[in-house]
Amino acid sequence: MTGGTAQLLLASIVTVGACVQWLTGMGFALAAVPALVLLLGPLQGVALANCAAGAISAAGLVGGWRRVRLTAMVPLVVASACTVPAGRWVAAQLPQAVLLVGMGLLVTLAVLLVMRGLRVSALAGSKGAVAAGAAGGFMNASAGLGGPPLSIYAMNADWTVHEFVPNAQFYGVVVNAFSIGANGVPQLGSTGWATAVVAMLVGAVLGKALAQRVPERRARQLVLLLALAGGVSSLAKGLGVL
């Protein structure tokens, strides 16, 4: 990837995504994937989202790993590992326009479900964990969006925010590691990688600073609105080139 404008756009997208994830505990993909897909293409955009979200989750987990519920997370991550290859295969078979439409629909639907606070008793417990993990692994490998199924599972399991954040970070590390193994790393070039890494650091600083000033509820609403706008944009572009 070359060009000053492209580098500036990449820096802006990654900074916003990293800021959002540090501010709310997750959300890099929701905030950044639609724009990354439009900038880099579906496969490269998803691969970068996997790398960035995984790295940020690992950094956030350093101080909270003791609060991870391994008994709850094991079925989630095992199920996600089983469906990552299928997600990668589907993404590789589809034309770019179809991928854009599919990703736009996935983002938009996921955001609307989370906004609505979908509660289904079957989504709690071990069966719910397996279902959420399977959906998350498939969506993460194909569209970089493994978080919404986990959010829906957590709501149905009545997790508090204090419980959710470290477990979401643990899940982010594992499912993105699987996805990177399937998708590989994006071909950004040395300048593009340097831009992305600096942007992640800047986003981390901004996110930590804003976390002390922005109420959590308002921050989550902002994430969902950004994601909804991005999903609709991807859907519109995909439909425009079909």
Q: pLDDT tens digits for 168-184? A: 888 888 888 988 988 88
Per-residue pLDDT, 123: 65
Q: Is the pLDDT of residue 73 over 80?
A: yes
Range of the domain at 80: 4-241
The model carries a pTM of: 0.79
Domain tally, the chain: 1
CA distance 216 to 19: 13
Per-residue pLDDT, 79: 92
Contact 137, 83 (CB under 8 A): yes
Q: Quote the Cα angle for 114-67-174, to 5°.
A: 65
154 or 226, greater pLDDT: 154
Contact 211, 22 (CB under 8 A): yes
Q: Is the pLDDT of residue 35 over 80?
A: yes
